[in-house]
Structure 1
Amino acid sequence: MTYPDTYYKRTMSDPRQRAALAGLEECDTVIVGGGLAGLTTALQLARAGQAVTVLEAESVGFGASGRNGGFVGPGYATGTEQIARIAGEDAARRLHLMSLEGVDFVRETIRALSIDEAKPQTGLMSVLRHDDGASLKAYVEQTRRAYGNELEFLDRDQVRSVLKSDRYFQAVRDGRSFHMHPLNYLRGVAREIERLGGRIFEASPAKAIDLQGAQKRVTTPGGEVRARNVVFTTGGYTGSLHGRLKRSFLPIATYVMVSEEAPDLIASAIATTDAIGDNRRAGDYYRVVDGGRRLLWGGRITTRAASTQALVRELRAEMVGTYPQLAGLKTELAWSGLMSYARHLMPQIGRMSPGVWYCTAFGGHGLNTTAIGGKVVAEGILGETDRYRLFEPFGLVWAGGLAGLAVAQLTYWKLQAQDWWRERAA
């Protein structure tokens, strides 16, 4: 029941361990998975007065929710045009507005629960690695008209005044979005669930389920939970407990590294507290942490187990290729984590049958979308809204198994090649 050795683990403000389930527990809703989707669902249900129980196989925030880049910004892993093609223009617009709502929801949760240790920092910047200011200006205007979201266009000189790299051209800055310490946020939400009477059990993997009838049963090595509702919120570490769920997404590994303390060296390259992501379809993301003393840099994906150190060498090559002045910046810590991706590159959110819900496949979507997914599932359970139905066109479709993993890896390599050619043709 230990966290992987990450920067977030080392700076975790609440290291408490919770007991494993022992014996019988009865409640209104049992949630399988103690990541962001599961804890948000539990929080909203507990706020409404439900008795909730969360079962976590490892520790709260053990999976991707607690060791990601920490970005809280709108959007999905697939584009708006693709969403509109599948679900329709109106649904695509409503889904994007929901993603924006997720940004505000996470920010308000930090404020309401005084989770100061989440250390939210305003500003996300998306930068172009090829010269195309006209298209970016058009995007800024379209976003303002369609969603009322005010973005700031930055020309090449403005970008390079804060990002000292000749790889970058124009950028869009989103001042509504932010970045944070995700594991500390999760620990703060968990504390509030327990304050409201919810129960959270760690080291309690679900080993068997009975979803028939009005009362559902989830069995762990040490006990059993009986509830009217079951919500599955597991991600890249999902086991074979529920075959349909397991087959509906692919576990994809991503990689992150954190530098040594070197504030002056880092500032010589990156003179902003904004989080940065480039426009490549196979791009990198990074941000300064510890008040500018360290640099957190993430990227690269693999569909099978790979050497973290080998991938870190690739990340370092990308970092130094972007910022040659950081060649002497040493990597102090690196880790990987499994995210879940659906074939359609959208979250999978909905109801399988009466009393049985799912909320998963959040790889590439950002913390805000994961949180709003948990919120709309709670709304559905409580009968407050049926907003979860917006995700029905993106259901639990088979992800392809081993063949799907191979296709995903080939697609990633293809995107990398396309990015390389586009930048050199610019």
Structure 2
Amino acid sequence: MLPAHVDTYYSRTAAISETYPEAAGRMEADVCIIGGGLAGLTAALKLARTGRSVVLLEARRVAWGASGRNGGFVSAGYATGLSSIERRVGSDHARELFRLSMEGVDIVRSEIDELGIKDAHPVPGIAKVLRYDSRGALQAASESQQREFGQTLRYLPRAEVRELLASPRYHEAVLDEDAFHFHPLNYGSALAREAMRLGAAIHEHSPVTSADLEGPRKIVRTTGAEISAEHVVFATGGYTDDVLPALKRAFLPIATYVLLTESSPDLVQGAIRMQAAILDDRRAGDYYRRVDGGSRILWGGRITTRTTDPRNIASLLRREMVTTYPQLSDLKVEVAWSGLMSYARHLMPQIGSWKPGVWYCTAFGGHGMNTTAIGGTVVAEGITGESDRYRLFAPFGLTWNGGIIGRAAAQLTYWSYQVADAAREFRSR
């Protein structure tokens, strides 16, 4: 029997019956995709729909990594803000990229609808909350976003926020009514089923051991198979190995933590009185939502460059939850887990062509649900010649991650953000 996914809320409630065989023997394909997360699955499905032959290789299980154990938030944007993107590429280019992220949300929603993925359990709305008084800046920014991009955003003043979220911490919020939250593992499993139905070959427990990426036909090897393909797509994330060293050197593996509470409908719904998910605007702040019909809380937060799990994941997160909602002090934790995301130093996805026939599609940390969808889509479009929209990400290439110094700098930066966030929150009390 194949090992199960990591013990999470999603694996406990997964509607998964399929397993996929290990790769064996010699195979030929138009495209070989390395990585069975949401980016790789999106690309595989789109390519299969165009009649391309696809072999997808996953080292563990489909959606085993961050794709199947994240917060489940689907909203437009990137891990870095629009102003940072503008400084790098200019306003017109930045706005085109933002619209592309909005398209990523639509892609996920459309797949759920068209494939009838009821087990994805989409719930509308994500509220961005502030722990300080922005003195009109949040409302002005949301109105600007609505005018520029046509998003459906609703500003919530302090009184309304306190009515919906019974916490003394929050001052104001913006509700994104175009965003939603869902069950990403069931979604990923459904993409795999559909890709396989259309002819894609999916192989689990098939880590790639080497790849010859020169010449018109690329050769990808696992311990038991050899795949010859015209195109190879590296769609790996925080668990990327050394098969393509340039990719391994271009991102930082960042861990984040999530917990699931016990079932207590009255307690949970007394504190969180809205179905929308909640994301606070602190750098690597809390993100959480009600699940199981509002009877439990799925609460995530904290990031670290430490890639091994601390023993006290549950207590670290529970402290955050209880300081935000003191009335939840008796609510117990049922399970807690972690996962590795991939972040580039520029905080944008890395999507593009490394050399003819070799593609990369990674670094989705911080906003993976929309960006994996658009990443897999534009790479597939590049392979088929449908578009060259992947070039929009050219300014955000495989920049060196800085090695050990880069990892230390990332952790120090995160700590500095925590200090700044705490100071701003203190001034608003």
**Which TM-score applies when normalising by structure 1?**
0.99
Aligned position for 1:130: 132
Aligned position for 1:253: 255
Root-mean-square deviation (Å): 0.9
Q: Does 1:359 pair with 2:361?
A: yes
SS in 2 for 1:340: strand
The percent identity for this pair of structures is 58
**Structure 2: distance between partners of 1:207 and 1:7:** 32
Q: Which amino acid aligns with 1:214?
A: P
Q: Do the aligned partners of 2:34 and 2:234 also contact (CA within 8 Å) in 1?
A: yes
Aligned position for 2:20: 18
Aligned position for 1:66: 68
Structure 1 residue runs of 5 or longer lacking an equivalent are: none
Q: Post-superposition shift, 1:306? A: 4.3
**Structure 2: distance between partners of 1:112 and 1:122:** 17
Distance 1:332 1:308, change over 3 A: farther
**Structure 2: distance between partners of 1:119 and 1:309:** 31
Q: Post-superposition shift, 1:16? A: 2.4
Q: Does 1:350 pair with 2:341?
A: no
Aligned position for 1:88: 90
Deviations 1:212-267 (A, max 9, x none): 11101100011111110000000000011111010000111100000001111101
More deviation in 10-19 or 226-235? Answer: 10-19
Q: How does 1:60-209 map onto structure 2 within 5 Å?
A: 60-209=62-211
Q: Post-superposition shift, 1:150? A: 2.1
Q: Which amino acid aligns with 1:34?
A: G
**Structure 2: distance between partners of 1:20 and 1:72:** 31
Aligned position for 1:5: 7
**Structure 2: distance between partners of 1:133 and 1:199:** 55
Deviations 1:292-334 (A, max 9, x none): 1110000111112344442322211111111000000000000
Q: How does 1:242-281 map onto structure 2 within 5 Å?
A: 242-281=244-283
Q: Do the aligned partners of 1:74 and 1:102 also contact (CA within 8 Å) in 2?
A: yes
SS in 1 for 2:376: helix
1:374 aligned to 373, 376, 383, which one? 376
Aligned position for 1:288: 290
Aligned position for 1:28: 30
Q: Which amino acid aligns with 1:395?
A: G
Deviations 1:311-361 (A, max 9, x none): 322211111111000000000000000000001000000001111000000
Runs of 4+ in 1 over 6 A off after TM superposition: none
More deviation in 29-38 or 278-287? Answer: 278-287
**Structure 2: distance between partners of 1:290 and 1:34:** 27
Aligned position for 1:384: 386
Q: Post-superposition shift, 1:370? A: 1.3
Q: Post-superposition shift, 1:383? A: 0.5
Deviations 1:93-146 (A, max 9, x none): 000000001111100000101111000000000001001251111111110111
**Structure 2: distance between partners of 1:348 and 1:237:** 15
**Which TM-score applies when normalising by structure 2?**
0.98
**Structure 1: distance between partners of 2:355 and 2:106:** 31
